[in-house]
Amino acid sequence: MRTRKLLLSLSGVAALVALWSLGVALHRTTILPGPFKVLAGVVDLARRGLLVRHVVASLFRVTWGYVLAVVVGIPVGLCLGWWRRAHRAVDPFLQILRPISPLAWIPISILWFGVGDRAAVFIIFLGAVLPIIVSATNAVAAVPSVHLRAARNFGLSSREVLVRVIFPSVLPQLIVGMRLALGVAWLVVVAAEMIAVSSGLGFLIVDARNAGNRYDLVVAGMVLIGVIGLCLDAGMRRLERA
């Protein structure tokens, strides 16, 4: 069954690549390179040592921004879900921040942190922390009240209820929120790298466009972003199933 599912997925990818190659061949366009030319661009990046450099730079920024978002977002969300008065006081502020795109913070992040990794990490943090806070808050609110009453009847303190009852109950939904936040973080880092830094996959796309219209490298960067995003999501799905 696993082999069948894998072959089915690979067949879909093969069909997409075949259509891509056929479309480029029929239209004879020079703007969109074919898959083999893109593959040659990836090989060229690897040969020059740029592939590992840009991928590692993007993953470095995503890791720091995402880890900070998890460290801050989970405790804040649990506390807001547990203490309703605090949630009522803070929720309007969160609802104002949620519709604001993290990319809108780019000018302010550059003003605060300058052009470099810290500005990109800050933008990634903003993009990932709000979904985690909202997910954790809603998960705590959804904990059945009978569990809480049973915990109090057994004499558990508020801290013990939070650690031994609430956190295990919200963990599945919390992991889903973390998975969504990781996807947002990966989207944000690519956009941030187009403006605020001089390395990474986002910078690769812009630099390839400006340096002689290397569209093969532009599409190669897009493909790499998609493949890495797929791998990150697959890792979070395995954690979710576990």
Position 107 in a domain = yes
- Give me Rg for the CA atoms of the chain: 22
Number of domains in the chain: 1
Domain containing 87 equals 32-241
Q: Is residue 5 part of a domain?
A: no
In a domain, 26, yes or no: no
Per-residue pLDDT, 138: 86
Which parts of the chain have pLDDT scores under 70? 29-30, 196, 212
Residue 201 inside a domain? The answer is yes
Exposed e or buried b for every residue in 84-95, given b needs 16+ CB within 10 A? eeebeebeeebe
What digits encode the pLDDT tens for the residues 70-102?
999 998 888 888 788 888 888 888 888 888 888
pLDDT at 72: 92
Check residue 68 and give its pLDDT. 94
Question: What's the CA gap between 121 and 144, in Å, rounded?
Answer: 37
DSSP 162: I
In a domain, 76, yes or no: yes
- Specify the CATH number for the domain of residue 118: 1.10.3720.10
